[in-house]
Structure 1
Amino acid sequence: MNRLSRRTFVLGGLATAGAVAVSKSALAAVPYPFKLGVASGDPDADSVVLWTRLAPSPLNADGQGGMGTADVAVDWQVSTTETFASLVASGTVTARYAEAHSVHVVAGGLDPDAEYYYRFRAQGHISPVGRTRTAPAVTTLGRDFTMAFASCAHFESGYYTAYRRMADDRPDLILHLGDYIYEGGAGSSGVRQHLGSEIVSLADYRRRYAQYKSDPDLQAAHAVAPWLVVPDDHEVENNYAGMVRADSSPALTTAQWTARRTAAYQAYYENMPLRPANKNSGNTIQLYRRVRWGQLATFHMLDTRQFRNDQACGDGWKVCADADLASRSLPGTAQENWLLDGLGQRLSNWDIIGQQVFFARQYDSGGASNMDAWDGYRASRSRIQQGFVDRGVRNPLVLTGDVHASWGNDLKADYANQSSATIGTELVCTSITSGGNGSATTTIPNGATNPHIKFYSNRRGYVRTRITRAQITADFRGLASVTEHGAAATTLKSFAILDGRPGLQAL
């Protein structure tokens, strides 16, 4: 995408057409610092976050990427063209040692509903060019737009071809619903290996992000569109819930677990295109938030890990009466009320909830269900689904990751009575790589027990949507292989969700 040599440098500013460049030999002693690429995120109607992290040696064990201890000035530019012939915004920001030399620029003063290109310069080098855009003004409907969403990218399980295929689609917006990294140590059977053992310290987490973000396919997906991100569990620890993980691996004291959470969330902020307001404060981080896309859509991005009650009856699939306790909440009481309040405002035609774990009922033939998903917090789910009805939410849509398979679900007023009203829709994306290649089956597991589930696929991939006033079209995109690089993506099944008519309509 970048038409300029990444090592081109112009005295007094970034390279532009017709300028006289310093030779590459003059820069030979300064290693290239943009090996982790660029990204943008959290757009609103007049601004967007621009991100990069300086790391000439990204995989150094100290997590600092070879940058040393000095803070570094980073120039940034925004233009309406890839040539940067004219600029609409520019400035200088400091990449600080204390934040692993990451930068989070809020580029403001931009036009609504517009496409832009951006880049950085540091230590005489030019970054790759990224493409981004702003949201429509909140008083307008805005143009139809394409949104893709994904989750669960275990580095050892396969190659990130699905990210490359997302980039090929050139969407307007990408949602990542968690498990951007995995915390485990190096395995012996993957197609590639994690560096080091189970990550616990800040240096560990920083290096793990650097290993993941060194992947060119992931970099391509970040560079093609702004992202909205929320973490799941593996950004910290598998299946963790709330403030303390009593059975964490490795075993940790409460103080050690708190330090691990602090490190995990600091590294998450450092490596994601989040606004400075979302920076962690110790071992907590404010990540649930609303992002308006004009009057067409409102994205309610949830955090289903930090504030939940612990899993009822422990992890796993179980029959558990405690899952019905009214006192239990998956998002936590404050976030649950925040979501219901936002839904009640009916800000847009489509209310889209970006979250992590399976929302619809999903029982096996014996009546067991997943205690880590909303089935383990049934009263909490009921309060939210009743909120759809009581607040007159016209088009509620839940987007989900976590389960390493694609699912399409109708949300029922009463799952025990399948003739009850369909009150919402859920789209579940498969993993980018987690679980390996999967299989070609589309037979719905326990379909007789869960007739509200309309689609299943065990392939890896992502979901691509086209959002208009009249409908959302959802394409479940799948790859035959992730253990070999370069597979094509095909549309396994497409559905429409019609305005004012919850539920999936097969196309």
Structure 2
Amino acid sequence: MDRRDFLRSTGKIALASLGLTIAASMKGGPVDAAPKFTAYPFTLGVASGDPWPDSVVLWTRLAPDPLNGGGMSGKDVPVKWEVARDDKFRKVVREGAGFARAQLGHSVHVEVDGLEPNRVYYYRFKAGKEVSPTGRTKTLPAYGSQVSKMTFAIASCQNYPQGYYTAYRHMAAEELDLVFHLGDYIYEGPGPAPTTPSPRYHNGPEIFTLEDYRNRYALYKSDSDLQAAHAKFPWVVSMDDHEIENNHAGLIPEKNQPIEPFLARKAAAFQAYYENMPLRSSSLPSGFTMQLYRQFQYGDLANVQVLDTRQFRDDQASGDGRKPPTPESDSADRSIMGEEQEQWLLSGLNQSQAHWNIIPQQVFFCERDFLIGTGDEFSMDAWDGYPANRDRILSFAKQKGLSNLVVLTGDVHSNWASEIKADFNNPDSEILGAEFVGTSITSGGDGYDITDAQQNILAENPHIKFYNNQRGYVVCTATPESFQADYRIVPYVTRPGAPIVTRASFLMEKGKPGLQKIYDGAVTV
């Protein structure tokens, strides 16, 4: 039995003994029917997510003392909600009541149904005598309906101490249908010491317990710019590594350590993630498992399959890091997504008749060789560390004659644009689509545009067409004829108030495989 199998088998035993499941929390407990709050309870704002044509999830969390466990009693609290067609709530179309469950951090997840497709709605909550801020959301178009345009943003990696969330304030001013968050919503580490100069600071040391994770989410979600972006659009969220622990792989922690504490930490992290995200009950975690890969249909325009490349992956090959390929990394048995999720992805691609097959996910998908000249050096944490898994997907796409793949990626704190090749070692190989890697919101600090070292990497990887190392997000616009990605950047994050500009724009036209750079800085190409 290898280390991975040993950890998985012992992990299941450990989890059973710990009894770390929160499914029972949905049944509720004692109720405080007439709550009196010590302070305004909606300090963490409101959010919506996982939209369908007739339904959307509405979220909030009661936290009058957000950085100290929330400041609520141990009882469930009734919460009323309203959905209207106007922000003055003159035309309320749906309303009801739910509970802020004490066992779920007094979070509220309302799955509103009976809504009309492709329509903007407004929502709010009421607990006791307190009323939440108003949120805005939007349903998806009807299944199979003809859609002329879809506009969305991708974001990731928002390390709180490393900068201000100015990019989110600009995002909230965009005209978007929805937002995809690709992971690293929080960072688990201690951050800089209070004596070290830093734009901002974490609220405590490295986090391990459920209360630790709750307080860390409260710190991040207390940011007004992040709240503004959540309140303006529905979000579809996915998790990478820092929501739990850096570079973990499934049930395997980053470093050799006892399995029981890691599994307890992972269960706590999953629960806190659910408590703080606009997720459906189908994503309610049970211990260290959580359903995060899921599918959305945007009319006939886009088939969207959100991946989870962290929870089911094999351990990183060769001890992780940047390494040359080895028989271990090249093994046909290795997977970054697990067999069940891989078959789900391929089945979705096989059945799709949409103009675009969009795959939001976490880590660099295209081949990226860091070694200049003879030989190869790849990131073992990215798809390059699992090439057989990637080859199976690309072989399937080639067999199906697909040239409309759009992979959306976060993780690396920089902007990249690449053509997806059926064979990255063959310059004449078919182009199956494009990967758009979005930079971080703050992680990495102010950053820079590009250096000679990165220019050399682009030359070493001719399928990669663009690099930029500044902070921001990517706005994507899909039509039946084209897919465009606009890289939106801020010049600095270490102080607030930065402006936003478009650094570059790339276009992929239907029936014309390959990327066209249509804008670079202030010069139209």
Matched residue, 2:281: 276
Report 1:58-457 matches (<5 A).
Answer: 58-60=66-68, 63=69, 65-188=70-193, 189=196, 190-245=198-253, 247=255, 252-321=257-326, 322-364=328-370, 365=372, 366-441=375-450, 444-457=455-468
Judge conservation of contact 2:245–2:254 (CA < 8 Å) in 1. no
Name the aligned partner's letter for residue 423 of structure 1: L
Say which SS state the counterpart of residue 42 (structure 2) adopts: coil
Name the aligned partner's letter for residue 367 of structure 1: D
1:129 to partner: Cα distance: 0.7
Say which SS state the counterpart of residue 231 (structure 1) adopts: coil
Name the aligned partner's letter for residue 395 of structure 2: Q
Matched residue, 1:4: none
1:177 to partner: Cα distance: 0.1
CA offset digits 1:8-38 (Å, max 9, x no partner): xxxxxxxxxxxxxxxxxxx997521000000
Judge conservation of contact 1:324–1:379 (CA < 8 Å) in 2. yes
- Counterparts of 2:296 and 2:467, CA distance in 1: 29
Judge conservation of contact 1:344–1:393 (CA < 8 Å) in 2. no
Structure 2 unaligned blocks of 5 or more: 1-34, 519-525
1:501 to partner: Cα distance: 3.0
- Counterparts of 2:441 and 2:385, CA distance in 1: 25
- Counterparts of 1:493 and 1:246, CA distance in 2: 35
Say which SS state the counterpart of residue 229 (structure 2) adopts: helix
1:45 and 2:53 aligned: yes
1:467 to partner: Cα distance: 1.4
1:32 and 2:37 aligned: no
Matched residue, 1:466: 477
- Counterparts of 1:198 and 1:402, CA distance in 2: 20
- Counterparts of 1:476 and 1:192, CA distance in 2: 26
- Counterparts of 2:456 and 2:146, CA distance in 1: 39
Judge conservation of contact 1:349–1:394 (CA < 8 Å) in 2. no
Judge conservation of contact 1:346–1:393 (CA < 8 Å) in 2. no
CA offset digits 1:297-323 (Å, max 9, x no partner): 111000001100000101111103122
- Counterparts of 1:305 and 1:502, CA distance in 2: 30
Say which SS state the counterpart of residue 418 (structure 2) adopts: strand
Judge conservation of contact 1:74–1:93 (CA < 8 Å) in 2. yes
1:94 to partner: Cα distance: 0.6
- Counterparts of 2:97 and 2:105, CA distance in 1: 17
1:394 to partner: Cα distance: 4.5
Matched residue, 2:514: 503
Name the aligned partner's letter for residue 466 of structure 2: F
Judge conservation of contact 2:248–2:310 (CA < 8 Å) in 1. yes
- Counterparts of 1:363 and 1:107, CA distance in 2: 46
Name the aligned partner's letter for residue 422 of structure 1: I
Structure 1 unaligned blocks of 5 or more: 1-26
1:191 to partner: Cα distance: 1.1
Say which SS state the counterpart of residue 351 (structure 1) adopts: strand
Aligned residues: percent identity?
A: 52
CA RMSD of aligned residues (A): 1.4
- Counterparts of 2:450 and 2:391, CA distance in 1: 31
Cα pair distance change 1:144/1:396, threshold 3 Å: same
Cα pair distance change 1:415/1:161, threshold 3 Å: same
- Counterparts of 2:446 and 2:348, CA distance in 1: 39
- Counterparts of 1:246 and 1:371, CA distance in 2: 13
1:246 to partner: Cα distance: 5.9
- Counterparts of 2:354 and 2:136, CA distance in 1: 26
- Paired residues in the alignment total 475
- Counterparts of 1:326 and 1:487, CA distance in 2: 47
1:139 to partner: Cα distance: 2.4
Cα pair distance change 1:45/1:504, threshold 3 Å: same
1:485 and 2:490 aligned: no
Judge conservation of contact 1:138–1:294 (CA < 8 Å) in 2. yes
Cα pair distance change 1:140/1:448, threshold 3 Å: same
1:70 to partner: Cα distance: 1.3
Name the aligned partner's letter for residue 372 of structure 1: D
1:502 to partner: Cα distance: 3.2
- Counterparts of 1:145 and 1:339, CA distance in 2: 22
**TM norm structure 1:** 0.92
Judge conservation of contact 2:403–2:432 (CA < 8 Å) in 1. no
**TM norm structure 2:** 0.88
1:206 to partner: Cα distance: 0.6
Say which SS state the counterpart of residue 366 (structure 2) adopts: coil
Q: Which moved further from structure 2: 444-453 or 114-123? A: 444-453
